[in-house]
A and B are shown apart, each in its own frame.
Chain A
Amino acid sequence: MSDKVAPLRQPLSPASVAALTGEVARLIVEALNLDIDPAQIDPDAPLYGEGLGLDSIDILEIALVVSKQYGVQLRADSEDNVRIFASLRRLVDYVSAHRTK
């Protein structure tokens, strides 16, 4: 198995979290060509299914964008492939913990 996960990082300051959250929201909206304002995405609403209404193809698309932008390969840590996408906040947490660039 190729477990090349970056070491966990120090928790980010609230300002950095907010900046990263805005950045990831923008990436999602651009990658999926969504017709919404990134700032309108509720950080605690589910991205998958209800909420933002994304499906598994969108999730794959975001996984690729995130791998290019932050050097993070998303991995399913359980049977549920989309747990990382439970909310924008969860995705941002994952990215900030595992980013390599």
Chain B
Amino acid sequence: MVAYRAGAPILVPQFLADVRRVATALGPCGYVLNACRDRYHFSVGFAASLLSRIVSLLPSTHTPEVVRQLAAFAPGAVCLTDEDNCSIALPLIRYPREAAPLASDAVDPAALTVPQIDAGQLAAYVFTSGSTGTPVPHRKTWGPLVECVREEANRLGLSARGRCAILATVPPQHMYGFESSVLIALCNAHALCAERPFYPADIAAVLEALPRPRILISTPVHLRALLAAGVALPQTDLVVSATAPLEPQLAADTEQRFNTQLLEIYGSTETGQIATRRTTDGAEWSLWPGVTLSLRDGTTWAQGGHIEQPTRMYDLLETVGAGRFRLHGRVTDLVNIAGKRTSLAYLNHQLNCIPGVEDGAFFHVEDSPASHTGVTRLAACVVAPQLDAARLLEALRQRIDAVFLPRPLLFVARLPRNSTGKLPQEALRSLAAPQGTSASAP
């Protein structure tokens, strides 16, 4: 069994047949932007790409600007989509219609052979936003990816539980979702859930329809919403959270409401996941075997194990013993909103590329009044006398992910640059005080 859709299993022969159909549909191309929303479709598309030696492109967002940059990076790239009105500006390949279920006596035994993939094969490029306006590619080789999610299955104790059904609230294109809902299932013989339910009541219903043992892969934002919604939560065998540290109280509440353990994963797009902790046991993280941290020039680097090359981490990590560390917040330029990561430098670059913008800067605002989801947005101020808020936001929407759109967006006569031309965050924040001229929404 590979997956569940609407609570019903999809078996291995069906999966293998679907992979071959999609490989045929993809034809010979070098790169594919796999935009399938359905997690089973995404997984079939990814396996078909592996089989055809096509490299999957996994950017964190699909804005027109990012798609243009991907097309320049990966000539000949196509987009695999399961939507009828996909607006991605690449040659589109429609995920084929579901075939009729295979009759068990009609399966050719040769077609049941699971293809073997070379550990050295380049499987995917994942992208971070960088600071110069161009997404930075990171190579993901098949062998290290498998090594990483085999350790993940150990850490989560999946192997001891038998075949698990895995439901995730994160997209399969995000590194965390890619590893923890797609690869972990395919590489360890567990079953992924095709649906990605959104509303709390939908998540509870889809989870309840899955057989046990069942696992929920989620984030602080989604868990907070799930607990706040007041829906009945079904007995679940494990809850996993990543993308941002979970507050200990939320972790304890999650364990209590689901009557199970909550484990947190730490990782990054560049390294994949590298550590876990049970939040209610304490603040220390335990690293994947073989992964080590070192401090150079005030920055933490991670290397070894499945990490393909030494990688600069954008969090401050303090080693507290062999294979253990504590997390002490982020490097200030870095932005992480609901698991989407970028930098102020990247956002400022995109803002200042818009015709009519003379100067502009994003900045962090003080925590806004507690929202249910705990998400705090960025603000921006801009000098753009010829533009109004609606036109500027529309131009930004073409370039950056919607979660980073500024709220509020302030129009000013000039930015509060100091004598060296720098923009102190403090001076920017004072602009966001009530007397500013604001126009946060059209």
Contact = CB atoms under 8 A, between A and B. Distances in A.
Interface of A: 1-2, 31, 33-36, 49-50, 52-53, 55-57, 59-61, 63-65, 67-68, 73-76, 79, 81
The 10 lowest CB-CB distance pairs between A and B, nearest first, are A73-B201, A35-B440, A81-B198, A55-B402, A64-B372, A74-B199, A1-B205, A60-B225, A35-B438, A36-B441
B208 A1 contact: yes
A29 to B, nearest CB: 9
Contact of B225 (A34, A64, A81): A64
Interface string B369-396: 1011101000000000000000001100
Contacts, number: 91
Contacts of A64: 200, 225, 228-229, 372-373
A5 to B, nearest CB: 10
For the residues of B in contact with A, the DSSP-based class is: loop
A34 B441 CA distance: 7
Contact of B441 (A31, A52, A56, A61): A52
Interface residues on B, range: 35 or more
Interface stretch (B71-79, B271-279, B324-332, B403-411): B403-411
A73 B199 contact: yes
Contacts of A60: 198-199, 221-222, 225, 372-373
B408 A2 contact: no
A28 B120 CA distance: 51
A76 B371 contact: no
B197 A65 contact: no
Interface in B354-371: 368-369, 371
Interface string B92-120: 00000000000000000000000000000
A17 B61 CA distance: 38
A76 to B, nearest CB: 6
A14 B408 CA distance: 34
Contacts of B441: 34-36, 52-53
Contacts of A50: 394, 397
Which residue of A2, A57, A59, A74 has the most chain B CB atoms within 10 A of its CB atom?
A: A57
Contact of A33 (B199, B225, B230, B407): B407
Contact of A75 (B202, B369, B375, B408): B202
B321 interface: no
B442 interface: yes
B99 to A, nearest CB: 19
B138 interface: no
26 contacts: A2-B231, A33-B407, A34-B407, A34-B440, A35-B408, A35-B439, A35-B440, A50-B394, A52-B441, A53-B402, A53-B405, A55-B402, A55-B403, A60-B198, A60-B225, A61-B371, A61-B375, A63-B229, A64-B225, A64-B228, A64-B372, A67-B230, A68-B230, A73-B231, A74-B199, A76-B202
Interface in B226-274: 228-232
A51 to B, nearest CB: 8
Interface string B159-203: 000000000000000000000000000000000000001111110
Contacts of A76: 197-199, 202
A57 B375 contact: yes
B155 interface: no
Contact of A63 (B199, B407, B439): B199
A59 B200 CA distance: 12
